[in-house]
């Protein structure tokens, strides 16, 4: 059960409304780096979490609920940035120097016009669950595998890309209130990256978790290949040397080596097409 407080998690103030920035904020709501993604990811990971302790489930659901508050903050920011946006795009929009300049662009996909049409006609100057191009978030980037370690690494990636986006928005913002809101969200992204990595460390770090799933015995792998870096160039150049080409593997269970990738199989032969396959007779 979730409980709602009418007050925002952190203050959201806009001194100079900017419909262009409102569109940019939509990416932080419904983009693949956005808050809907991490919110749903943590909810579904938590709802499906199994194990002898409930602390990881509880942690995930606490953070998922926090992310609902972030969506609310961003939706409020979008609405406030649309306060003075024109409802008649041909007249007020053209009269406004900033909006008019953007509307004069050649590709409607990258102009304020398409975004304002959507905000005016579909939402009444409010946010919507889509990215900055108006594409609805479709949950295809929500990862909940049922494997705790795998999910934690997915969460680190989600928070890392989210923080990259938030930093870009911070750098693009001109309004002091928007910078203040984003400097809070960036801080939370920092914590969440640390949080998910702390779970991996608590579970035993690289040695205790890799390779994922650690419940599958490596004796069933083709162990000749499990720590080889395959070099696939054929121009005689050396493969890129790095931590992954020599020395002990990160899980401490093998040694990195370099192998020139060569064909180990035969040329595939699929045989003739079936008579009922709709192929040409020359294929049968």
Look at strands 255-260 and 228-231 and give their pairing: parallel
What is the percent of the chain with per-residue pLDDT over 70, rounded to a whole number? Answer: 86
**Mean pLDDT, the chain, whole residue set:** 89
Q: For 192, what's the count of Cα atoms within 13 Å in the CB-facing half-sphere?
A: 29
Residue 122 — very low, low, confident or very high, per pLDDT cuts 50/70/90?
Answer: low
Confidence of residue 234 (pLDDT cuts 50, 70, 90): confident
State pLDDT tens for residues 33-88. Answer: 999 999 999 999 999 999 999 999 999 999 999 999 999 999 999 999 998 776 65
pLDDT tens sequence across 127-138: 988 999 889 999
Q: What is the average pLDDT across 180-199? A: 98
pLDDT in tens, 17-48: 999 999 999 999 999 999 999 999 999 999 99
Does residue 70 contact residue 185 with C-beta atoms inside 8 Å?
yes
pLDDT for position 126? 83
- Name which of 9, 31, 69 is nearest 165 in CA terms: 31
Least Cα distance to 206 among 218, 216, 217, 197 occurs for 197
Mean pLDDT to the nearest integer, 262-268: 94
Element counts in the chain: helices (H) and strands (E): 9, 3
Instruction: Find out whether 120 and 87 touch, Cβ atoms under 8 Å.
Output: yes
- Pairwise CA distance, residues 27 & 32, whole Å: 8
pLDDT digits 0-9 by tens, 84-120: 776 654 445 444 544 444 444 444 334 455 665 566 6
Mean pLDDT, rounded, for 231-247:
91
Residue 33 near residue 161 (C-beta atoms within 8 A): yes
């Amino acid at each position: 059960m979730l409980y709602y407080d009418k007050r925002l998690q952190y203050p959201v103030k806009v001194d100079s409304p900017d419909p262009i920035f409102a569109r940019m904020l939509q990416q932080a709501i419904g983009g693949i780096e956005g808050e809907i993604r991490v919110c749903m990811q943590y909810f579904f990971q938590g709802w499906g979490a199994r194990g002898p302790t409930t602390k990881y489930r509880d942690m995930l659901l606490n953070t998922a609920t926090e992310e609902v508050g972030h969506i609310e903050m961003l939706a409020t920011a979008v609405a406030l940035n649309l306060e003075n946006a024109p409802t008649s795009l041909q007249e007020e929009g053209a009269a406004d120097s900033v909006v008019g300049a953007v509307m004069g662009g050649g590709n409607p996909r990258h102009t304020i016009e398409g975004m304002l049409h959507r905000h005016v006609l579909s939402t009444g100057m409010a946010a919507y669950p889509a990215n900055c191009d108006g594409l609805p978030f479709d949950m295809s980037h929500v990862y909940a595998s049922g494997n705790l370690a795998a999910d934690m690494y997915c969460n680190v990636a989600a928070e890392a890309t989210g923080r990259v986006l938030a930093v870009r928005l911070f750098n693009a913002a001109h309004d002091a209130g928007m910078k203040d809101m984003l400097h809070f969200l960036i801080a939370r992204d920092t914590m969440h990256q640390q949080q998910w990595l702390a779970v991996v460390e608590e579970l035993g770090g690289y040695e205790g978790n890799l390779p994922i799933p650690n419940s599958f015995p490596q004796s069933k792998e083709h162990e000749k290949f499990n720590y080889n870096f395959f070099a696939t160039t054929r121009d005689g150049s050396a493969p890129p040397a790095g931590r992954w080409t020599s020395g002990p593997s990160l899980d401490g269970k093998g040694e990195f080596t370099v192998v020139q990738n060569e064909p180990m199989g035969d040329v595939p032969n699929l045989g003739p097409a079936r008579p009922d396959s709709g192929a040409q007779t020359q294929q049968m």
